[in-house]
Amino acid sequence: MGYSEEWKSAIERSERYGLAVPKQTGMAQQRYLTKEIHDRFPDVVRDAFGNLGYEDVVAQCMSIHYRLLPVMEDLLACPVFFTIGWVDDGTARGMFRFDEEFIQDKLQKPSSTLGGQTNLHAWLTLPSMEVIDVSLVTTIVVVQNLKKGHGGVLAGPADDFKGFSYKPMLVGDDFLRKAGMLFEFN
């Protein structure tokens, strides 16, 4: 199953769990992630977050992509969708893999404390089914104590990545609110 089919399933799943799903205009044929946009990523991310250390990126995918979403919408002049899911790396476990039982459990018993880690991943999806992930590469590099790859950004058509695939499970940030993983100050 390709990313667009899994995307549709993630929207349906989000709606089935009573989560607010961002309005979508349909899938676009246009590619938003041009070479010019790729070249601007380091400056855009630095302007949005300041100078983050690599350790500030590890296990912070939800926070980083939540805060990066409006910045990317401005840069790309298109809707950008917060996406929660896992990464199929070809192993039996996958990376950050979770299932519908996890979703249901988190919605029935929301967290009431700040902080902590949860076994799920977040990234941004564009109407063209291109994805932007500014945290996965650095997380892998730091956790595996590799010498290269810090600050790497994965950005491109979701179906074009080799050796792994993104598995969207939920669309939008409402799950984070309802599961007690997102605290907003008004």
Block means of pLDDT (10 residues each) for the chain, length 186 residues?
A: 94 96 79 91 82 69 88 94 95 92 92 65 96 84 74 88 96 92 60
Q: Are 80 and 124 in contact (CB under 8 A)?
A: yes
Amino acid type, 154: L
- Strand intervals (E) in 72-160: 81-88, 121-125, 130-133, 154-157
Length of the chain: 186
Beta bridge partners of 124: 82, 132
- Global pTM value: 0.89
- The residue among 171, 162, 92, 63 whose CA lies nearest residue 125 is 171
pLDDT per residue as tens digits for the range 139-183: 777 777 777 777 778 899 999 999 999 999 999 999 998 998 765
The ranges assigned to domains in the chain are 3-17+28-109+118-178
